[in-house]
Structures are given as structure tokens and as C-alpha cells.
Structure 1
Amino acid sequence: MTPGRIAIPLAGAIALLVCQPAPTGSTALAFTNPKKGNAVTTATLTVQPAAATAGAFMPAGYAEMARRRVAVDGERAELVRYQRSDGRNAVLGGEHFSTVIAADGRLKGFTRMDLDLAGGQLPSREETRAIAMDFLRVAAPELLPAQEISWIEPHDEPLRVVRNGKTENLTLTGMKVKMRNRADGRWMWVIVGADRKVMVFERDIVWVTLPGHRKTEKWLDDTWLAENGTTLP
């Protein structure tokens, strides 16, 4: 699927994003179903470039399911979730394509959890690095001058699917390029799937050295969403 065929509908969907501070005091998340309308009436975000970039990686047959304003390290952003139009594995932990776009239009990250990514031969470290750098040149060229690769290794993501009436917990494995931004000390990574395309991208991740944990919210991670009270429409 070519970027041009995907970017237009995705841009149209994300162009309606609104920026509002996420509720304080709780990380509980309830998605807003776009079919039921959006009661928020604040200013519209300008996110065409980010929408086009993310849209190039959305699998065929996905449609917007929900959207939610969120906070990422205290900054306003929008989480948009897409699921398969045929309803296959349309549960938390199942197949989805999700994006987080900041109020200033920056693509903070996206994830592509699709059954087609299960199995397959992973790219080599050299090939993975080349794919990641090519992606950053398009998605976030400002990160390239100060990026420093920490490591390139296989990385697993869980996926819950239903096959033949039975629920199965699968593992999607990609090659992860973990990088540090020397300019601000934050982290970023690109995970490349067996199809040689980016399956996960995240940037501006704040890491607390002691006791050693991620501070930045994990809005693209279904396990984290479930732990923090997420419900789907």
C-alpha cells in the first residue's frame, strides 16, 4: 500500500484533533467514540505532516475507532486508535494502529500491532539501522544530528487474538533501535518488523535513572492502558 493512498483519509480523521489538558489526579482513560460526536470545542490542531507520516504505515482495512486527549510529560497531545473494520481482534490487547500527536503537530509516536507481523525473518542489525535512519529522516529529521544509538536488539510485543473460537496470546517480535538524544537526554526508539517496515516509533521518552524506570506515559501500550483503567467503546 502506498503512502499516498493512506495519508489522505488518515489526515482527514486526525485533522479534527483537539487539544485540552488531560484530567489531573488520575490516569484513567475512557475513549471517545467518533461516531457519537465530540463534545470538546477548543481549537483544532494542525497535524497534516504527522498524519501523513503515520498514515503511510497503517495497514489496509483499518478505521478510526476512538480518540482521546491525553497528557505526555505534562504536554497536551491526542491519542487516536484505529482497529480492523471487520472487527477481528477488536479488543484491548488485540490488533490496532494507534498514534500520539502533540498539540504542536509533532508525531510523538505510533504503534502497529497487526497479526500479519507474527513470524517471519527479522532484518539484520545493519538493515534495521538503515531502515530506522531512513524513517527518522522523514518523520523527525531534527532528531538525527544529536541521536546516539545505544543498542539494536530483538524486542517482543504481546498480541491477543481469537482463532477458531479460542483466545491466544501471541508475541510480535521486531528489531528495536534504542537511541538517546544527546541534546536533551531523552530517549527514542524505532522497532522494525519482519516486513521491513516500522511497527513502533516513540520519541522524547523521559527515563528516571534511579530506581530505573520510564517516567513518560505509555499511551501506545495496551498493557499499560489496561493497568490504568482504560475502557473501549
Structure 2
Amino acid sequence: MTLAPIDPRAVLAAAGLPEKPEWRHVSTRRERHEDRRVTVTRYQAGGYRLGGPHRTVVVDDNAVLLGFTDLDPFAVFPREPPPAETLAHDVAAAFLAGTDPGYAAALTVLWIDPHSEIVTADDGTEHKVTGMKVKTRHAGGLYAWVVVGPRGRVLTYERDVRWDPVAGRRATQMWLHDSWIAAHDGDGPPPPPPYSRI
């Protein structure tokens, strides 16, 4: 049976994540998230460029949102600090419950801490995108997190992530992370732990 293609925009809308009409679709790839087939869709203001501002969506064949990131330093109120822990917790909890209530009910919050990513603009300048990362553990043993930016904006979400305690690094593929993608595609060196192996 051939599965109908899943529109990532519909999945984002169902999760309450707004569209970015000023960014255009630049790539779609079929990959794996552990043993699940996924579609990885990327949007950018210009053409495809790793390391730059981007929005990437990872959706499995059952339309489950497994990953989302919106690394746009010009749209996250960069002069404002990340939210307080209580606000980050509440935003993350509401987002998780709205995305998949049954899944959210089995999550336990482990910690809440600042988290930053660096992106490089077209002119070569580096910009930091900072939020509060709410990391959780599912009753099944895998991990999920939400990074909440200024004014309660969801910057990143990942779920069903496996950790390799022996290697001290993530075990699940990293389709939201450009340095890992570059290494996977043969265009850069393998990133060190805690990034997953290529």
C-alpha cells in the first residue's frame, strides 16, 4: 500500500505552530528516526544552506510530529531574555498536551535550563538563538524536550530520542542539527558527543 504524502504544514498547524510564509520550501528527504520512516522538510528564506537560519520539520508516516525547530534569530525578540522557568514549563506542558495528550501524560520533567544554538546569516555574521529547554523522560524510557524562547515562542521540539549511556551520547538521528546533517551527507567532520554517531 502506498501512503499518501503528509503535508508538514498541516501537522504544524495541528500543533499550533504558525506558518512562516516568508520562508520557502528548500528540501525534502526521506530518512529514519530510529526504526520509523520519516519525512524531513526544511524551509529557509533563501536557498538551501546548512548553518543558516532555518525551519525544519520531522514527521513520521502516521503524521506524528517527532521534531521541529525554528532557528530564526530575527524573529525571536533577540534583545529579550528567555522566559522564566515557570513560564517555560507551562508553555512546554501546554504544547506537549496539545500535540499528543496521551504521550504528554507519560512524561516527567527532568530539568529546565537555558539552551542556545548558533546560526550564521547570509552576510556571515553569527547569531545566537536562546531559549529555556524543558527536558522530559517518557515512561517508555525515551526523551523529549521543548525549547521555549522569549514571549513563550516554541523554538524547538523533539521526542522519542534515545540516549546511549555507554557512549555518553545521543543514539537517535539528528535531522534538526546542521552539523550532524553535514557529516551524514559527507560534507563535514563528525561532531563530538553528545551528538549521535553518523
TM-fit CA distance, 1:138: 1.2
SS in 1 for 2:108: strand
Where does residue 190 of structure 2 map in the other structure? none
Q: What's the counterpart of residue 175 of structure 1?
A: 132
- 1:59 aligned partner: 20
TM-score, normalised to structure 1's length? 0.72
Residue identity over aligned pairs, in percent, reads 31
5+ residue gaps, structure 2, are 188-198
| Structure 1: distance between partners of 2:169 and 2:176 | 17
Aligned to 1:138: 98
Shift of 1:55: 6.9
TM-score of the superposition, structure 2-length normalised? 0.84
- Following superposition, the deviation at residue 221 of structure 1 comes to 0.7
Residues 68 and 46 of structure 1: is their aligned pair in 2 closer, same or farther, counting only changes over 3 Å? closer
Distance 1:230 1:54, change over 3 A: farther
Maintained 8 Å contact 1:90/1:96: no
1:113-135 Cα offsets, whole Å, 9 max, x none, are 10222342211000000000111
Secondary structure at 1:70 match in 2? strand
- 2:56 is matched with 98
Q: For the Cα contact (< 8 Å) 2:30–2:38, is it kept in 1?
A: yes
Residue matched to 1:203: 159
CA distance in structure 2 between the aligned counterparts of 1:47 and 1:188, rounded to whole angstroms: 23
Of residues 59-68 and 73-82 in structure 1, the stretch that sits farther from structure 2 once superposed is 59-68
RMSD: 2.2
Q: Deviations over 1:33-58 (max 9, x none)?
A: xxxxxxxxx43245675242357234
**Matching residue's letter, 1:158:** I
Bigger relative contact order (CA 8 A; separation at least 6): 1
Residue 185 of structure 1 deviates from its aligned partner by 0.2
Between stretches 51-60 and 220-229, larger displacement belongs to: 51-60
